[in-house]
Amino acid sequence: MTRQITKEHGIAHFNDKRRDTGPRINNRIIAKAVQLIGNDGKNIGVMPTAQALSMAMDAGLDLVEINGGSVPPIVKIMDFGKYKYEQKKKAAESKKNQKQNEMKEMWVAPFIGDNDLNIKLKKVEEFLAEGSKVKISAMIRGDKRVLKNRDAINIMFDKVLAILADKAVLESKSRPDEFRKSIIIAPK
């Protein structure tokens, strides 16, 4: 706990770094008047915080600040433990439903045969159908044919893009001076 005293809404309090970052509840609500929403979701109206807190205590529930930025702050009578559990459950469900887009990689030789290229591109199409981005890579080795004809890799990449034109979009290309050439394609 730090010893710096701050004034917030006319009330002095100590800054406590351990304080929960969630919504204010019960006695932590510092406004003098609040807009109260009942446990059933109906708007009860503006009233002093003490009166709203006593209504929550009589119902055996908590007074939870829903929107502290409005004037007066909006509070609701609810079971805070149940509210936190539902929020955690919603966060876990949304995290579970998020799809992780992976980057798949396919290596291709610069002078690949048409049949071999078609087989590799069928696998690339499967990756694109899953929603993944695909990095198609070719390495410049000490092969005499590649060193003589440096455009062979670019010609091969153009051929790949022409075949996959209806299913994929070029996202990025490697720099011309790199030893390992690649393109990244994303599903349309």
pLDDT in tens, 36-66: 888 888 888 899 989 988 888 888 888 888 8
CA pair distance 103, 135, nearest whole angstrom: 7
What is the per-residue pLDDT across 76-85, written as a single tens digit (0 to 9) for each? 998 888 888 9
Quote the pLDDT of residue 173.
85
- Is the pLDDT higher at 179 or at 105? 105
Q: What is the pLDDT of residue 145?
A: 60
Specify the pLDDT at position 2.
Answer: 46
Q: How would you classify the pairing of strands 33-37 and 43-48?
A: antiparallel
Q: What is the 3-state secondary structure (H, E, C) of the chain?
A: CCCCEEEECCEEEECCCCCCCCCCEHHHCCCCEEEEECCCCCEEEEEEHHHHHHHHHHCCCEEEEEECCCCCCEEEEECHHHHHHHHHHHHHHHHHHCCCCCEEEEECCCCCCHHHHHHHHHHHHHHHHHCCEEEEEEECCCCHHHHHCCHHHHHHHHHHHHHCCCCEEEEEECCCCCCEEEEEEEEC
What is the mean predicted confidence (pLDDT) over 144-155? 69
| CA–CA dist 11, 48 (Å, integer) | 16
Domains of the chain: 5-96 (3.10.20.80), 103-187 (3.30.110.10)
Most confident of 7-11, 16-20, 145-149, 171-175: 171-175
* pLDDT at residue 136 tops 80: yes
Q: What is the pLDDT of residue 24?
A: 83
**pLDDT-derived band at 71, boundaries 50, 70, 90:** confident
Question: CA angle at residue 135 from 128 to 146, to 5 degrees?
Answer: 130
Residue 123 pLDDT: 92
